[in-house]
Amino acid sequence: MSRFIERTESPAGKTAQVAAPAVRPGATLAVTSAATALALMTYTAPMVTLAGTAAELHTPLSAQAWLLNGTPLGLAAVLLVAGSLADDHGRRRVFVWGTLALALTTLLGGLATTTLAFTLARVAQGASSAALLASSLGLLVHAFPTPHGRLRATGVWGAFVSAGIAVSPPLSGALPDWRLVYGVLGAATLVVAALAPRVLTESRSPRGGRPDLLGAATFGAATVALIAALTLGRDGWLRAPVGLLLVAAIALLAVFAAVERRTATPMIDLALLRRPDFLASSLGGLVTGLAVIGLFSFLPTVLQRTLGLSPMDTAWLFLLWSGLSFVVALQARRLAGRVPPRAQLALGFALHAAGALALLGAVDAGSWQRMLPGFVVSGIGSGLLNAALPLLAVESVPAARAAMGSGAQQTLRYVGSCAGVALTIALVTGTGGGLARGADLAMVVSAVLAALGAVLVGVTHRKNGARVA
């Protein structure tokens, strides 16, 4: 355990030394990783149960994207705000409240009887997950102040991102009812929320000044408008509501940028965009959402509808992809010092592109066995991405703003995932020739986006002499 000393001024004017609460690195890593895994399990729960959930809630095909995009909408809208609040007002406080809120909103999602109620619960789950995900990396940076310790901690945390994705499909497929899935996840999250205050040590990096309420409001509104436009766009990009939402998103982002330049305590320092590592982290998060999460969020539903696979069959198949991602992410920390995080990102995108192309023709052939090589290659690539992204997010910003850096990268990740899901559904269901042909087109687009991501991340480089303070 590590312990630090705080200095206080006594009434007599003498300086006294007070021992601050001991930091428990192992317990901090365990609790934040467990909460992260549960957040990702909640996020991916509808992947193999979408057909059953949509049928019970009488959700039309045109609205099913909302069942998937509700959680990333909440995530993208709140992550940056949550990261800034965690750094300024207490990372443990934001983490505990976020974990508790996730438990309650997950239980409410299991009780929903309409598409609207379920979607609202999913949005609330996303907002709650944003609080715990953004603050967890800030807690880890405080608990592991050395570069070696930070490398180990972010590697394990990134592996548990993959673990949550890996465990959720088999759990969802094994339980007899999708509502029970949310009951189990909600109860497990309540346990973590109860443990968190006992093992976590509060930390913050207050900057003084007033909270950036206008920045939070404009950014949240811009994100909601953008994701709503992306989700509605699958039914026609030239419709008036889509155009109005896109214009509103652009206008609100412009206002947000102006606010951030003028306020003394901005949610995000826009000067960070000049840092190559921060830019690579942001691009990496965006392309991961677009290319990887977008494709694999809807692909289970495609396989159930075309190959007749049961939810459990689909879960085991996707466990190959997500399980490999977990193993690779856990071991990727051994590459430190030999392979920079940006190079890991570029390699991860290249492997996903190769894996997506290897999936071509499998759906039309009616053979899930033909998909195995593509799942293996893409799973390895996904593991590299999940290991490199959190490390790059915290290394690309000053240590005092670690939660903000995490929130910025993950915001773009989930904005990208919303766009990716909407794009994948539009390609699969809107292409002449049936679902098989549409799936092949979605795989090609995913591969192209990943290849572009590899190039963009690869060409960013640290400027000579540029270091993160």
Four-point Cα dihedral 94, 97, 98, 99, nearest 10: 120
SS3 432: coil
Long-range contacts made by residues 150-153, C-beta under 8 angstroms, separation at least 24? Answer: 150/391, 150/394, 150/395, 151/333, 151/336, 151/391, 152/333, 153/25, 153/29
Number of Cβ within 10 Å of residue 204's Cβ equals 19
| Token pair recorded at residue 383 | 């593991």
Q: What is the pLDDT along the chain (469 residues), one digit of tens a residue?
A: 344 333 434 444 444 444 456 778 889 999 999 999 999 999 888 877 887 888 899 888 767 777 877 888 888 778 778 887 888 788 999 999 999 999 999 999 999 999 999 999 999 999 999 899 888 988 988 888 887 788 788 888 888 888 888 888 888 878 888 899 999 999 999 999 999 999 998 887 766 666 777 887 888 888 888 878 877 776 677 788 888 999 999 999 899 889 888 887 777 777 777 788 888 888 888 899 889 988 888 888 888 888 888 878 888 888 888 889 888 888 877 776 677 888 889 999 999 999 999 999 888 888 888 899 999 999 999 999 988 888 888 777 777 677 677 777 777 888 888 788 878 887 887 766 788 888 899 999 999 999 999 998 877 754 433 443 3
User: Look-up: residue for tokens 């007599």?
Assistant: 12
Rounded Cα distance, 279 and 412, in Å? 11
Integer Cα distance of 263 and 254 in angstroms: 15
Amino acid at 433: G
Assigned token pair, 213: 């309420």
- Count Cβ atoms within 10 A of the Cβ of residue 153 and give its class: 0-12 exposed, 13-18 middle, 19 or more buried: buried
- pLDDT of 367 reads 82
Burial of 159 (0-12, 13-18, 19+ CB in 10 A): buried
DSSP state of 223: H
- Do the Cβ atoms of 322 and 151 come closer than 8 Å? no
Q: What is the pTM of this model?
A: 0.76
d(CA 244, CA 222) in angstroms, rounded, equals 12
In angstroms, the CA 236 to CA 94 distance is: 39
Between the alpha carbon of residue 99 and those of residues 27, 122, 260, 298, the distances in Å are 16, 15, 29, 27
